[in-house]
């Protein structure tokens, strides 16, 4: 299942991951939008919740490097969305896979160093 972070309007792609207002879940052509009930949760609680969602792929505008490392540990692929403003305009073939070779360049949110 693929997850996309959304703003309060439930259409615009959020520039945050953990603190996003809503999550859109894409599963076999269907889209389900759900409020992020853990946007203020501390890291362990958020990721404990996140593990229950069955997500294996995330489309995101921005996230922190430590968050990327945690998602990688959970087996979640992270793709950067740069061209689309709303989730229904995303073209998967235009997304950039975030991996070890480029994560520090693209995962700039947060307070990590180096």
- Domain boundaries along the sequence of the chain: 2-106
Please tell me the predicted confidence (pLDDT) of residue 53: 86
Mean pLDDT of 47-58: 89
In this predicted structure, the answer to whether residue 109 has a pLDDT above a threshold of 80 is no
Whole-number Cα distances in Å, 78 to 9, 38, 62? 23, 20, 10
Please tell me the predicted confidence (pLDDT) of residue 111: 53
Largest CA distance in the chain: 39
Give the number of residues written for the chain: 114
Contacts of 51 (CB under 8 A, 6+ apart): 74
Name the class of domain 2-106.
alpha beta
């Amino acid at each position: 299942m693929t997850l996309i972070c959304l703003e309060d309007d439930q259409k615009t792609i959020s520039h945050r991951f953990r603190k996003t207002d809503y999550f859109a879940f894409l599963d076999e052509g269907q889209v389900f939008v759900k409020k992020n009930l853990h946007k203020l949760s501390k890291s362990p609680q958020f990721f404990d919740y996140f593990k229950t969602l069955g997500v294996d792929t995330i489309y995101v505008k921005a996230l922190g490097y430590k968050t990327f490392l945690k998602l990688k540990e959970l087996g979640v692929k992270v793709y950067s969305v740069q061209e689309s403003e709303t989730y229904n305009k995303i073209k998967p073939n235009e997304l950039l896979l975030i991996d070890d070779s480029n994560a520090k360049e693209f995962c700039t949110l947060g307070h990590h160093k180096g």
